[in-house]
Amino acid sequence: MSRRQVVELFYDVVSPYSWLGFEVLLRYKNIWNVDLRLRPALLGGIMHATGNSPPAMVPKKGAYMGKDIERQSEFYQVPLRQPSDFFQVVIKKGSLSAMRFLTAVQLSHPEFVEGVSRELWRRIWFEDKDITEAESLLEASKKAGMSEDSAKKLLSTMNSLEVKNKLKENTEDALAYGIFGMPSIVAHINGKPELFFGSDRFELLAHYLGEKWLGPVPQKSRL
């Protein structure tokens, strides 16, 4: 078997399209010959550094996004719906505390990064719940299978210098790759990093990896 190609996913749970990219890559990680690496990073920091702005802040894009999320949810089979107060939840509160907590998970209990990420997305993008409160982070961890004691220890370390530096490192690595938004996928092909932005570039990604694209839910493909 040829050497597994490294694929990095840079994401933030404040981004619904990142959830789509996350789930698709996890569905393919044992189908394609890839080494998938999850890289939680801070979307707000990336947007600020690159001069980008959330698409929902443009009225026409914001109106389109609501309908698009419904379509994407059905197509990708990921339970997505807009928060009742989008501006308050996504723009004003943001995801700094959630991403610091997730980074603490990555440092101490990497086996739970996938599950906690998914539960945080579910809370904000399906259950319409706050992800900035400590109790919400604990509940997400519990649903992901983490013990309460472990989750509470992570809460106590999420604002430590080590965690802050790790989140900053992931975010700076993203910027170094030329990333300007999320989700962003960096595939290392023949020793060269190739950037793919968005949750709708999987067919192109598969082509460059030399793999087959079997749709968003490959387990149900008839090919």
The domain covering 5-220 belongs, at the CATH homologous superfamily level, to: Glutaredoxin (3.40.30.10)
Average of per-residue pLDDT across 1-17: 91
Tell me what pLDDT residue 187 has.
Answer: 98
- Show the 3-state SS of the chain: CCCCEEEEEEECCCCHHHHHHHHHHHHHCCCCCEEEEEEECCHHHHHHHHCCCCHHHCHHHHHHHHHHHHHHHHHHCCCCCCCCCHHHHHHHHCCHHHHHHHHHHHHHCHHHHHHHHHHHHHHHHCCCCCCCCHHHHHHHHHHCCCCHHHHHHHHHHCCCHHHHHHHHHHHHHHHHCCCCCCCEEEEEECCEEEEEECCCCHHHHHHHHCCCCCCCCHHHCCC
Burial class (CB in 10 A: 0-12, 13-18, 19+), 1: exposed
- Per the prediction, the chain carries an average pLDDT of 93
Q: Residues in the chain, how many?
A: 223
At 153-205, the pLDDT tens digits run: 999 999 999 999 999 999 999 999 999 999 999 999 988 999 999 999 999 99
At 106-124, the pLDDT tens digits run: 999 999 999 999 999 999 9
* CB neighbour list of residue 31: distance below 8 Å, 6 or more residues apart: 211, 214, 218
In this prediction, residue 23 has a pLDDT band, given cuts at 50, 70 and 90, of very high
Where b means 16+ CB within 10 Å and e means fewer, 102-135 reads bbbbbbebeebbebbbbbbbbbbbbeebebeeee
In this prediction, residue 1 has a pLDDT band, given cuts at 50, 70 and 90, of low
The pair of structure tokens assigned to 130 is 């706050």
Question: What pTM value is reported for the model?
Answer: 0.94
At 51-73, the pLDDT tens digits run: 988 777 778 887 888 899 999 99
The pair of structure tokens assigned to 30 is 């044992």
Tell me what pLDDT residue 6 has.
Answer: 97
- On the question of pLDDT at 138 being above 90, the answer is yes
Question: Is residue 65 within 8 Å of residue 35, measured between CB atoms?
Answer: no
- On the question of pLDDT at 222 being above 70, the answer is no
Closest CA to 96 of 22, 45, 169, 38: 45
Tell me what pLDDT residue 58 has.
Answer: 77
Strand order in 5-11's β-sheet? Answer: 34-40, 5-11, 184-189, 192-197
